[in-house]
Structure 1
Amino acid sequence: MTGWLRAAVLLPVYLAVTAALIPVQAALVALKLPGAVRFPRFYHRLTCRLIGFDVDVVGTPVRDRPALFVSNHSSYLDISVLGSVIAGSFIAKSEVADWPLYGLLAKLQRTVFVKRERSRTAEQADEVARRLEAGDRLILFPEGTSNDGQRVLPFRTAFFSVADRRPTGRPLVVQPVSLAYTHVRGMPMGRKLRPAYAWYGDMDLAGHLWTALTLGPARVELVFHPPVTIDDFKDRKALARHCEQAVSAGVAQALQGRSTAALALIGHVLAQRGPAVEGGALQVAEEDEPLDPQEIDAAEGEATSEDVRV
């Protein structure tokens, strides 16, 4: 099947499936049923299969308690990739609520919409804290915008203010997540093809989705790093630095084709810099240095991990 024909078939199917499932999720949300949290994961898994995403998961997402997942962000497609693995809701900029179709889907997944004004920071942190207090797991893109998928932008420390709140009376669990689009049609994607999946700048959304559908099956690497809490660090800035470092290193490993061992490698290297603390969290210095490729190479022989295909 040619790329154009593939897109011509898949796009109507995707829209039809989405239209059919919207009333189901709307009813679950309106009736406040437990399925309102789980059903979006089913939808996102189905979406990934339709688009042709083969999601390889390294590590284990936190499942038994409220948590804040922090991930790099390169595209609206990240939503389905992360949503296919994590049963939770997203934190997104308020503009997303007005997007055609995706705005509605975001609302139905109980997305927390935030404005960028500093005057609203405390109020919005309260809303996030309330959701966590209710037992929700939330997914945050702390870069504050999407990018070309080749790198990780600096994390905005203000987004980590909720980690100080202890919404459940205990330190909030924060889990860094690395996401990378690595292969298309079984071949390494490379810099030229990655913009077909990375949506940033002034790219047209509809045209971008059409292009992604024409390319065929793609592989996405999703690395869940060891969870941490604010108590493991001096302050939220140190927490943000640690998460940024872990996510950036995971993306770099995935793009180098070594992602199946990325979690164990990064955990091993970080563990050499500071003692492990209870719960799998890692204590790191306030001024962390970037992971050295030689450190990764030295640890590679000792690292092990498990791939889980979605």
Structure 2
Amino acid sequence: MIWDDGSRIAHDAPGPLGWIRLLWRGGAMGLLVFGGLGVLLVVRTIERPLCGVRRPVTPSITVFVCRSALRILGLHYVRSGDPLRAGGAVVANHASWLDIFVLNAGKRIYFVSKSEVAGWPGIGWLARATGTVFIERTRTRAREQTSLIEERLLAGHRLLFFPEGTSTDGLRILPFKTTLFASFFSQNLRRRAVVQPVTVRYHAPVGADPRFYGWWGEMTFGGHLLRMLSAPRHGRVEVIYHRPLAAADFDSRKTLARACEAAIRSGYDRPAPGDAPGQG
């Protein structure tokens, strides 16, 4: 699929008010995120020896931080449907690094991410601290990755991954890669695994480029972050939790992946919600 490079979207440099917004939002979010991380690490030192792989307390800290970050940013959060209450997998479309905050704001989850992210400055550290599962998308490591995912799911974790394999401009959904869906058909998970498709749909501020929240192509994280923090106003993000699907009802990873993709695409066909913000 060929689509426009991110550098083709023109954005004005922040004016004086933009820099004030950037400093206020950036400072507040920095204190929130790193302060919350500090609390999380302290609690985890007690939680780890008592609970092992299970994390009954620390994910709630992550949810609080992410909900508060969206409020500071001014991005209205609108939710429909019900998140999984028990352990299982969640799959969603991927438009931006903001998805981390948006999806964590709805329910306690753990992301499944490519191994390279673990080495990214700042982001990698945060990801490791919050229990992200790092994987290598290679056939030689497939069995090992399946065992790791199986262990976390059997421990009652809700694992989230992005089957598109990359972020987009927020206006389209790329064909799903099916490799990770194989984990749900292992001997120990085949009869008990459930997967919940989730649509994340961003609505740009009035008058802004519809791709305002997308992060793709040659866009840098720093440039995109600056634009989010300095924006005079924000739009909203709609998170739609679809009906969970049982792996036992499908004959292969490919049919399960297609069903999840169809459900997530259906979220883009729904009428846009009203302007009234909501916090799920």
**TM-score category (smaller protein):** 0.7 to 0.9
Q: TM-score, normalised by structure 2?
A: 0.85
Q: Distance in 2 between matches of 1:39 and 1:166?
A: 34
- Aligned match of 1:123: 144
1:27 lines up with 2:26 in the alignment: no
1:55 equivalenced with 2:25 (yes/no): no
Note the C-alpha offset of 1:22: 1.6
| Cα distance, 1:152 vs structure 2 | 0.5
Letter in 1 for 2:25: L
* Correspondence for 2:225 among 202, 206, 209: 209
Cα deviation for residue 170 of structure 1 reads 3.7
Larger helix fraction of residues: 1
2:279 corresponds in structure 1 to 309
Instruction: Report the secondary structure of 1:309's partner residue.
Output: coil
Unaligned runs of at least 5 residues, structure 1 = 262-306
Q: State whether structure 2 residue 236 is matched by structure 1 residue 225.
A: no
Indicate the larger mover: 33-42 or 103-112: 33-42
After TM superposition, give the deviation of residue 91 of structure 1 in Å.
0.3
CA distance in 1, matches of 2:61, 2:127: 13
1:29–1:108 CA contact under 8 A, matched in 2: no
When residues 259 and 167 of structure 1 are mapped into structure 2, their CA distance, relative to the original with a 3 A threshold, is farther
Cα deviation code 1:14-60 (max 9, x no counterpart): 11222222211112223226211221111111111111121100111
Identity %: 36
Secondary structure of the 2:163 match is coil
The verdict on how the C-alpha distance between 1:176 and 1:204 changes in structure 2, with shifts beyond 3 A counting, is same
Show CA shifts across 1:125-158 (max 9, x none).
Answer: 1101000011111111011111111111111111
Q: 1:58–1:260: 8 Å Cα contact kept in structure 2?
A: no
Specify which of 215, 218, 228 is matched with residue 199 of structure 1.
215
TM-score, L = length of structure 1: 0.77
Give 1:249 shift.
Answer: 1.9
Q: Could you tell me which runs of 5 or more consecutive residues in structure 2 were left unpaired when the two chains were aligned.
A: 1-15, 48-54
Q: For residue 211 of structure 1, report the CA deviation from its aligned partner.
A: 0.3
Q: One-letter code of the match for 1:43? A: V
Tell me how far 1:2 sits from its aligned partner.
Answer: 3.2
Residue number among 231, 243, 252 corresponding to 1:235 in the alignment: 252
- The 5 A counterparts of 1:1-310 are 2-32=17-47, 34-63=56-85, 65-165=86-186, 167=188, 170-184=191-205, 187=206, 192-194=209-211, 196-215=212-231, 216-253=233-270, 258-260=271-273, 309-310=279-280
Deviation at 1:95, TM superposition (A): 1.2
SS of the equivalent of 1:31 reads helix
CA RMSD of aligned residues (A): 2.0
Structure 1 residue ranges, 4+ long, deviating more than 6 angstroms after superposition? none
**Cα distance in 1, alignment partners of residues 228 and 192 from structure 2:** 40
CA distance in 1, matches of 2:186, 2:61: 29
